[in-house]
Amino acid sequence: MSKKLKDLPVSSTFTSNLPPDPLVPTVQAMKKADDRILHVPRFVEGGGLFTYLTPSLKANSQLLAYSPSSVKSLGLEESETQTEAFQQLVVGSNVDVNKCCPWAQCYGGYQFGDWAGQLGDGRVVSLCELTNPETGKRFEIQVKGAGRTPYSRFADGKAVLRSSIREYLCCEALYALGIPTTQALAISNLEGVVAQRETVEPCAVVCRMAPSWIRIGTFDLQGINNQIESLRKLADYCLNFVLKDGFHGGDTGNRYEKLLRDVAYRNAKTVAKWQAYGFMNGVLNTDNTSILGLSIDYGPFGFLDVYNPSFTPNHDDVFLRYSYRNQPDIIIWNLSKLASALVELIGACDKVDDLQYMEQLHNSTDLLKKAFAYTSEVFEKIVEEYKNIVQNDFYDLMFKRVGLPSDSSNKILITDLLQILEDYELDMPNCFSFLSRNSPSSMENEEYAAKLMQACICLNPNNERVRNESVKAFTNWVGRYSEATKTQEDSSRLASMKKVNPHFTLRNWVLEEVIKEAYIGKFELFKKVCKMAACPFEDTWGFSKEEEDYLCYNTTPSKSQIQCSCSS
Ligand SMILES: Nc1ncnc2c1ncn2[C@@H]1O[C@H](COP(=O)(O)OP(=O)(O)OP(=O)(O)O)[C@@H](O)[C@H]1O
Ligand SMILES: [Mg+2]
């Protein structure tokens, strides 16, 4: 039974169990603290993991969209979204600090491979945790673009409408594809609030939710600052409150070793799905890597259109660090930073709760060396497990995408198909969309191959050589593909394929068109794309066929391989 907002249990397990900013140790202290403590950038010392504060940005707002799937995840009645209470919640206004005092999280991170120091929620405020009474699932609810915090560094605490639309829609798209993600609950615009980016842009607030927003960077900062007690509290909090559901820590080692294994496992499951759907995060820094393996931080993300494994959607990523091809390895790099932060806790093995021994370990070069050697060995094994999961899950999903039995002898069909897409710079989403909507048994191989080429020709629409050679390569592939699928019944195979092959992919050019319209105050296209992103497997969304086909399939070269800057 769906509930009203007021019926959802409210909690604050994060702030109740973790060390606060020493300058704002309690809610009482927050009430007395002045602006320089709560909303002016500074370093938070002493292992504090959050600062109590309320959102500082106040403005009239309009709800632009809410996510039906997130409303459902919370167990809310959809009609609640029309209430003032909901609309105030999703912009962080009218907060009752006595019921639950909001906070901003403190974390650090390695950005583009370099240590960036303290980062933290510089424009995000967590309002409370809400639990779905039916499922028992708890979500930490945040507003992004809510004004300055101690973690704002040199920036303004705002989020522009452009990046808010991107985050909102991409959360919807990944959630619908079954890729683990933080969820968007709503997006609202803020009347009269603007921010200077490349130009002056209007601002918005995305309300978003996740079982936890803890990142690898949350551990990094405590590790680098030598805050071993804070680190232990953080790790124990994760074990007791965050990772319990679906824990895959294995049987060996102490609980911190299990935590590392579990975080690697969860991220491996997610990376495999990113790779199978061609999703690229674009800024996979450790502060954007969730310990729950959720896709997080939708900045310069993108979906592959042209199948180019070296592509990065991040315009500033000149060394292709965050390219499609590198994502699985970059997550390993990020996990190595988590392992480094946990060296003492993992390396202490079964003596980890002996505080006297921990003190000795902390101060002994010899013991630290041993702890490091042990953690490295553990990490190597975890990496092997991680790689296996990424490979296996990737192929399992790709088998589903092409409608082939999960049989390792079929792997070559997947790699060969991807090779053709790469060789002739063809469009990945359109290829799979075509395969799941047309059976090779319905026509001659060569005819099928020609239609497949036509569906996914991308950068070279008028290049005869590319057209002819790709048809030839496809014809050979289709022959082998037909052979491999011939034992299956066509209509049920296609029906299963359609459940994993989106008809609509959230391409960057579509986002650009949505944003262009939104910036002149028109939100019709945004509303349409909301619907398409949230239900990408539908055959139609009730708009004109011409418009749907355009939004689903257009592969004009100028619309391909679009990169974005980090400005948001
Ligand atoms: N306009 C801004 N005002 C204040 N802080 C900002 C702003 N933009 C980015 N930051 C901070 O810079 C760091 C890196 O930014 P990044 O773009 O990765 O995060 P984000 O998109 O703001 O947040 P999240 O990762 O939670 O989605 C974070 O600490 C973030 O809070
Ligand atoms: Mg971030």
pLDDT digits (tens, 9 = 90+) for 178-228: 999 999 999 999 999 999 999 999 999 999 999 999 999 999 999 999 999
Same domain, yes or no, for 202 and 226?
no
Query: Ligand 1 centre from 458 Cα, in Å?
Result: 34
- The SS3 assignment for 534 reads helix
In a domain, 433, yes or no: no
Q: Is 34 annotated as a binding residue?
A: no
Query: Ligand 1 centre from 181 Cα, in Å?
Result: 18
Question: In this structure, are strands 61-66 and 138-144 parallel, antiparallel, or unpaired?
Answer: unpaired
- First and final CA of the chain: distance in angstroms? 38
Same domain, yes or no, for 185 and 286?
no
**Whole-angstrom Cα distance, residue 253 to residue 248?**
13
Same domain, yes or no, for 227 and 190?
no
CB atoms within 10 A of CB 360: 13
pTM for the model stands at 0.98
Q: What is the 3-state secondary structure (H, E, C) of 383-423?
A: HHHHHHHHHHHHHHHHHHHHCCCCCHHHHHHHHHHHHHHHH
In a domain, 520, yes or no: no
| Total number of domains in the chain | 2
In a domain, 408, yes or no: no
Same domain, yes or no, for 256 and 366?
yes
Q: Which of 281, 289, 297, 564 to mutate to test the pocket of ligand 1 (most atoms within 8 A of CB)?
A: 297
Q: What would the mean pLDDT of 516-544 be, rounded to a whole number?
A: 98
Q: Has the ipTM of the complex gone over 0.95?
A: yes
Show which of 187, 211, 235 is a domain's final residue.
211
Distances (CA, A) of 424 to 183, 304, 508, 552: 36, 14, 21, 21
Q: Is 251 annotated as a binding residue?
A: no
Same domain, yes or no, for 16 and 128?
yes
Q: Reply yes or no on whether the pLDDT at 486 is more than 90.
A: no
Show which of 166, 186, 211 is a domain's final residue.
211
In a domain, 437, yes or no: no
Give the pLDDT band of residue 245 (cuts 50, 70, 90).
very high
Query: Ligand 2 centre from 244 Cα, in Å?
Result: 25
Same domain, yes or no, for 172 and 191?
yes
Backbone angles phi, psi at 371, to 5 degrees: -60, -40
Same domain, yes or no, for 187 and 95?
yes
Atom in ligand 1 nearest the alpha carbon of residue 288: 25
Same domain, yes or no, for 242 and 147?
no
Same domain, yes or no, for 185 and 233?
no
Backbone angles phi, psi at 506, to 5 degrees: -80, 85
In a domain, 149, yes or no: yes
Is 287 a known active-site residue?
Answer: yes
CB 132, CB 75: distance < 8 Å = yes
Same domain, yes or no, for 240 and 374?
yes
Q: Reply yes or no on whether the pLDDT at 354 is more than 90.
A: yes
Q: Say which of 287, 305, 393, 427 is annotated catalytic.
A: 287
Q: Which ligand is nearest to the CA of 140?
A: 1
Give the pLDDT band of residue 389 (cuts 50, 70, 90).
very high
In a domain, 175, yes or no: yes
In a domain, 449, yes or no: no
In a domain, 461, yes or no: no
Show which of 211, 232, 263 is a domain's final residue.
211
Maximum CA extent, the chain? 77
Q: What would the mean pLDDT of 494-507 be, rounded to a whole number?
A: 98
Q: What's the chain's average pLDDT?
A: 97
Q: What is the pLDDT of residue 369?
A: 98
Q: Is 288 annotated as a binding residue?
A: yes
b/e for 129-156, b at 16 or more Cβ within 10 A?
bbbbeeeeebbbbbbbbbbbbbbbeeeb
Same domain, yes or no, for 261 and 382?
yes
Domain range for 299 is 217-399
Same domain, yes or no, for 337 and 196?
no
